[in-house]
Amino acid sequence: MVKKTDIVIIEEYDSNWEKQFETLKLMINNYIGNFILEIQHVGSTSIDGLSAKPIIDIDIVIESTKDLPKIIHELEQKDYIYQGDLGVKDRYAFQRIYDEDIKYHLYVCPKDGIGYKEHILFRDYLRSNFEARDNYMKLKKELAKKFERDSESYCNGKTKFIQKILKIQGGI
């Protein structure tokens, strides 16, 4: 699991990111599989050819939040800390207490939640639209250079681009 850092490092696309996701997917499924509808690889590492911070973003999709207390309990037994929604409606974050070989962000999302829907809309658009993918990659690299030691400004700099894609996709 990844602790927040102020250093922004963008790496060229690495096909191992998909293998890392599959490893994490198996592990998570072993922990809480009876609550899961699906496990999705989201974020920049899920988009073939896109440069990214080398951190796997994972959405665990559940039926509804009624099972969230049980999921929190089960994940706490596996040394995860529940972090709440971190300001994103219907997307619940977890952080592992100890470091692992694979860096990742773990989110639990109800299937109809806006956080999950936006992740999928954005990911799928960039997977199918290479021009948008390349424009996003260029923006990320420019922002990483400009805000190398300010991850919050880096993230904020991507917001307009993301919102534009979500609007095109019928999201926000």
Whichever domain contains 53, its CATH number is: 3.30.460.10
Taking Cα atoms as reference points, which of 94, 78, 99 lies closest to residue 30? 78
The residue type of 93 is: A
Query: How many domains does the chain fold into?
Result: 1
Q: Which two tokens stand for residue 91?
A: 């997307």
5 pLDDT tier (thresholds 50, 70, 90) = low
Domain that holds residue 63: 16-167
Model pLDDT for residues 99-147, shown as the tens digit of each residue: 678 999 999 999 999 999 999 999 999 999 999 999 999 999 999 999 9
Tokens of 154: 């880096």
In a domain, 73, yes or no: yes
Residue 104 lies in a domain: yes
